[in-house]
Amino acid sequence: MKKSIEVRFLALGIALLGIAAFFTLHPRGRLFLSPQNLSNLSIELAVTAVLALGMLLVLLPGMIDLSVGSGVGMLGGLAAVLIVKPDFIWPGMPGWPPALALLATLLLAMAIWALMGALISRWRIPAFIITLGGLLIFKGLHWAIIHNATIPVAVGGQENIYSLLTTYYLPEWASYVLGGVVALGIGVSRVRARRLRRAHGLPVDEAQTAFLGTFIGLQALLLLIVVLNLYKGVPLALVILGVVAWATQVITQHTSFGRYLYAIGGNEDAAVLSGINVNAVVICAYVALGAIVAVAGFMQTAYGGYSTTTVGNLMELDAIAACVIGGTSLKGGRGTVLGVLFGALIMATLLNGMTLLAVTPELKTIARGTVLVLAVWMDVWLSHRYGAGGGSR
Amino acid sequence: MSGPVPLLHVQHLSKHFAGVAALEHVGFDLRAGEVHALCGENGAGKSTLIKVLSGVWPHGTYAGTVTLAGREVRFRSTADAARAGIAAIHQELALVPDMTVAENIYLGAEPRTWGGTINWNKVYADTEGLLREYGIAVDSGARVGELGVGQQQLVEIVKALSKRSRILLLDEPTAALTDSDVETLLGIVQHLRSRGITCVYISHKLGEVFRVADRITVLRDGRSIVTVASAGSTRQDVIRHMVGREITDFFPRVRSAPGPVLMELSGVSVADPRSGRMVLRDVSCNIRAGEVLGIGGLMGAGRTELLLHLFGAFGRRVAGTVTLAGVPYQPHTPADAMARGVALVSEDRKRYGLVLDQSVSFNLSLASLRQVARAGLINDAAEYQRNQAMVTTLGVKTAGMDSVVAALSGGNQQKVVLGKTLLCAPGVVLLDEPTRGIDVGAKVEVYELVNRLTAAGKAVVLVSSEMPELLGMSDRIMMLSAGRVGGCFTHAEATPERLLTAAMAFHRGFPKDTPHEEKH
């Protein structure tokens, strides 16, 4: 099992390097590695990855959500309308304070996803069908909410908390402080986990390997901060991704709820007979996903600056692709946060590079599909070759 | 010997599963046109023999020879066996519920028109012909899913006959049938014999066996014990042959004085919520602290259903009460049951017990994470410590707690399942076939664990199909028979003959005019 994970990450690393090299060496892609583009890429990655991490929560127990792309559009649109065009909702209603609009939309999203989760688990309607319905309904609602218009996220080119989601950059000093704190946190938790494992006779990597691995990771983090500071600094969106990724990691690996997600996807019958309330767990997973969809919706809409009818298009497929590329099983029970981040990085890099090369939308769509098919094929091939891979840790 | 020439002749047939002998030097012969019954306890090797004869276990996976009409046959698949005219009808029916009777019968062998499309007229005409020929009253256009189990069984038989089978192997065909369906089936078997079809008939129900069989072969512990003509022998003879074994003392049961009654069932009747069929009727018994209550019975007697019901995982209680420590007990989910201190080790560990892709530690913790988590956050140190202690106690042989559980041997997987249950600190432990498919050494370790549990004052309910295990490990034994209590015995009273007789007490199935069944 270990082997299949290693092979997968090796393959992903090579694929990522290949994609990056292609874009860099392409005559029109000189700007690919420029600080400005990498800054943009990091924001695009943040949106895709946040959404994919939410998707992971429902893929683990063997469910799926096809409605997140439409949800991104609808929720982003709703928040924008509440702030900028409140008449669209209720004639004569004054514009909402941005923070309140975001919070209300977030809570609404959690309620909607709770309902979908309940329909799926309590009433045993396949997740595929419920969320396919959601895809269409949310798309229609999105268009209705924004009256098929283009709604900015802030009134008249001003800044507000909504627009700042993707336009705020940490000051240089703050980015280094944050980097230092993160590095310290990672280092301490690694050492503690290692000590704990050894105390209970569990195998640990060799000290040198473990140190080197952590060290290289932290170097990469430092490099990233330095490069981003060459442009405007570390984007707030990337910090949001960091928080969501950390939270998802804790939830999936260190909580009972996370264990239950893996158990339900791995063997639902065994989960039930272990006294797990499967319905409640599934509903909670959908509620968490709903909150994440709202956050991704705000970020994606803010990144464009406007809510338009096309915001969120096909993002559900990017999210699913990122999960699958990262080794998440669509049958449930298998998948890791790190894998999903890797998968999202590949998807975001691909899309960013193609935009940079001014690839036509039709070709872009074909490329996305091809990558998805290749990823699933690799997943099946690796599973055959090395057995079912990738446990909860 | 001047008797009829055997159509099928089996010599020195041996088959092992992971070192455990399922069949050893079995000899068996089948005369053309006879109905030949195979009898034996669960695990005697009847189904394995059927699977060899029907090509489920291909040639090369067993030792010995099978001769058909004078020539040795080496089936590589069930298709080979079907071509040679041998068809098996297993307990699990292989029909597509959404297709009609005729579509099912010709599935995979559809007659074609000259254009290559299916000749539906011929499919239905031929089906009607077959149904008439063998006197089977089923509508060829009916959807199979809408037929009763008995009629589905008949469809399976017709499907086999459509392939011009000469030998039909029927594996417990009446286990799930009602009385009238049994009558129909027995009539059909007799009719088939008159048409020259040879049948091998496996059944626990000796009454049926003596009605239809010409000869009876008894298997025990994978060996063929005797073949008798049914006309010249009695039920008692057959039971004696089925049981007759020395029970060796590899059951280290330590008996102690039983404590107070922990759980008490009175008049419990349970219906399967999906089919509405009554699965358990009027079951009464009590379970004491520090005692092992053994539950035996034939396949389909309702043993597993009883345990699952007590665990909140099966059935609707139609009548009766259960008390646990004197307080009414009616769990609706396994979580309810566990909250009251009842734990279950299920019969099929791969299907119901383990998340195979995950680690030993993951599986051990699954049912008892609450003990090591605060506000949902798991304390890794506490979890490791507790699980490591359990691995040591149970002697689970594994490379480490984070090894994938699928990589463990059956016995060690079973210990993980037991460990998962024990970590819940239950007061009543329900064990469903806890030693199925594990080797002798691991079995003894499981028995010793049972001793530890009862010594600690827990009540253990042990469901087992293995007579020696039941006799060796139980303080009291309740035999279930067709969902009813066939008899209760103390350890001293229990003999194999008595248990088997009790297991067959209600084997004719439920009386047809019982109040509950028809009304729901």
Please answer yes or no on whether A273 and B346 come within 8 Å at the CB atom: yes
Q: Going by DSSP bridges, is the β-strand pair B428-432/B459-463 parallel, antiparallel, or unpaired?
A: parallel
B416 interfacial to chain A (CB closer than 8 Å)? no
Whether residue B491 contacts residue B469, with contact meaning beta carbons closer than 8 Å, is answered with: no
Element (H, E) at B7: strand B6-17
Q: Is A124 on the interface with B (CB under 8 A)?
A: no
Cβ atoms of residues A265 and A334 within 8 Å: yes
Cα nearest neighbour of A273 on chain B: B334
A274 CB neighbours in chain B (<8 A) are 334, 366-367, 420
The terminus-to-terminus CA distance of chain A in angstroms comes to 11
Count helices and strands (H / E) in chain B.
17, 22
User: Which of 197-226 (A) contact B at CB < 8 A?
Assistant: 197, 199-203
Is B388 an interface residue toward A (CB < 8 Å)? Answer: yes
Query: What is the β-pairing status of strands B71-72 and B63-68?
Result: antiparallel
Interface test with A, best of B307, B359, B369 (most A CBs within 10 A): B369
Cα–Cα distance for residue pair A301/A166, rounded to 1 Å: 9
The residue among A321, A327, A305 whose CA lies nearest residue A378 is A327
| pLDDT at A72 > cutoff 80 | yes
N residues, chain B = 520
CA atoms within 13 A on the CB side of B70: 2
C-alpha–C-alpha distance, residues A324 and A184, integer Å: 31
Residues of B in contact with A267 (CB under 8 A): 351, 354-356
Q: Which residues of B are less than 8 Å from A259 in CB distance?
A: 362, 365-366, 369, 378
Specify the DSSP class assigned to residue B403.
Answer: S
At residue B395, φ and ψ (nearest 5 deg) are 65, 40
**Cβ separation A273–B353 shorter than 8 A:** yes
Query: What per-residue confidence (pLDDT) applies to A205?
Result: 78
What's the pLDDT at B161? 85
Distance from CA of B371 to the nearest CA of A (A): 10
Beta bridge partners of B215: B36, B229
The residue of chain A nearest to residue B381, with distances taken between CA atoms, is A196
- Contact of B367 with chain A, judged by CB distance below 8 Å, is answered with yes
Name which of B344, B367, B376 is nearest A255 (Cβ-Cβ): B376
Query: How many CA atoms, within 13 angstroms, populate the side-chain half-sphere of residue B117?
Result: 3
Cross-chain CB nearest to A259 (options B334, B338, B369): B369
Chain A residues within an 8 Å CB radius of B401: 200, 202
Is residue A148 classed as helix, strand or coil in its secondary structure? coil
With an 8 Å Cβ cutoff, are A274 and B313 in contact? no
Residues of B in Cβ contact (< 8 Å) with A390: 357
The Cα B396–Cα B38 span in angstroms is: 39
> Nearest 10 degrees: CA dihedral of A357, A358, A361, A367?
-10
Residue whose C-alpha is closest to residue B150's, from B190, B124, B109, B179? B179
Q: Over range B344-372, report the average pLDDT.
A: 90
CA distance A175 to A374: 37
User: In B312-376, at which residue ranges do the beta strands (DSSP E only) sit?
Assistant: 316-324, 327-328, 342-345, 373-374
Tell me: the pLDDT tens digits for B403-422? 889 888 778 899 999 999 99
Angstroms from A261 CA to nearest CA on chain B: 11
Q: Give residue-wise pLDDT tens across range B237-295.
A: 888 888 765 445 567 778 777 889 999 999 999 998 888 888 999 999 999 999 999 99
User: Which of B351, B357, B384 lies nearest to residue A266, judging by beta carbons?
Assistant: B357
| pLDDT reported for residue B507 | 66
Cα–Cα distances (Å) from A374 to A321, A332, B158, in that order, read 10, 19, 47
Report the C-alpha dihedral over residues A124, A128, A130, A131, rounded to 10 degrees. Answer: 140
Distance from CA of A39 to the nearest CA of B (A): 35
Instruction: Taking residues A208-237, report their average pLDDT.
Output: 90
Reported as type and span, the H/E element at residue B170 is strand B167-171
Q: Is there a contact between A256 and B376 if contact means CB atoms under 8 Å apart?
A: yes
Give the residue from chain B lying closest to A275, CA to CA.
B335
The ipTM estimated for the assembled molecules is 0.85
* Alpha helices per DSSP H over B233-352: 235-243, 303-310, 334-339
- The one-character DSSP state at B172 is S
Tell me the average pLDDT across B336-364: 91
Which of A197, A259, A274, A329 to mutate to test binding with chain B, by most B CBs within 10 Å of its CB? A274
Residue with tokens 């031929």: B126
Residue A270 contacts B, CB cutoff 8 Å:
yes
A266 vs B337, B355, B400: nearest CB: B355
Q: Is residue B392 less than 8 Å (CB to CB) from chain A?
A: no
Q: What is the DSSP string of A152-184?
A: ESSGGG---HHHHHHH-B--HHHHHHHHHHHHH
d(CA A124, CA A131): 13
DSSP A114: H
Contact yes or no for B388 and A201 at CB 8 A: yes
**Dist CA A208 CA A193 (whole Å):** 16
Predicted TM-score (pTM) of this structure: 0.79
Q: What is the pLDDT of residue B203?
A: 84
Contacts of A57 (CB under 8 A, 6+ apart): A248, A251, A252, A261, A285, A288, A289, A292
Identify which of A74-83, B295-304, B309-318, B463-472 has the greatest average pLDDT: A74-83
Sign of the C-alpha dihedral computed for residues B236, B242, B243 and B244 taken in this order: positive
Contact between chains at B359 and A391 (C-beta distance less than 8 A)? yes
**Chain A contact probe: residue of B357, B377, B387 with most A CBs at under 10 A:** B357
| Mean pLDDT, all residues of chain B | 86
* pLDDT surpasses 50 at A164: yes
Residue of B nearest to A254 (CA): B378
Sort strands B377-378 and B198-202 into parallel, antiparallel or unpaired.
unpaired
pLDDT digits (tens, 9 = 90+) for B63-97: 999 999 889 999 998 888 888 999 888 766 778 88
pLDDT for B269 equals 94
- Check pLDDT > 50 for residue B310: yes
Within B332-440, strands assigned E span: 342-345, 373-374, 377-378, 428-432
> SS3 sequence, B85-104?
CEEEECCCCCCCCCCEHHHH
Across the interface, whether the CB atoms of B402 and A388 are under 8 A apart is answered no
Residues 298-317 in B contacting A (C-alpha not used; CB under 8 Å): 311, 313
Tokens of B269: 């009747």
Is the Cβ–Cβ distance between B368 and A276 less than 8 Å? no
Q: Do A273 and B400 touch (CB under 8 A)?
A: no
Nearest CA in chain B to A267: B355
Average pLDDT over residues B426-453: 85
- Planar angle of CA B142, B144, B148, nearest 5 degrees: 100
Residue of B nearest to A334 (CA): B357
Any A CB within 8 A of B379 CB: no
| A18-34 per-position pLDDT tens digit | 988 999 998 888 888 89
Place of tokens 């072969």: B217
Write the pLDDT tens digit of every residue in B209-231: 999 999 999 998 888 888 999 88
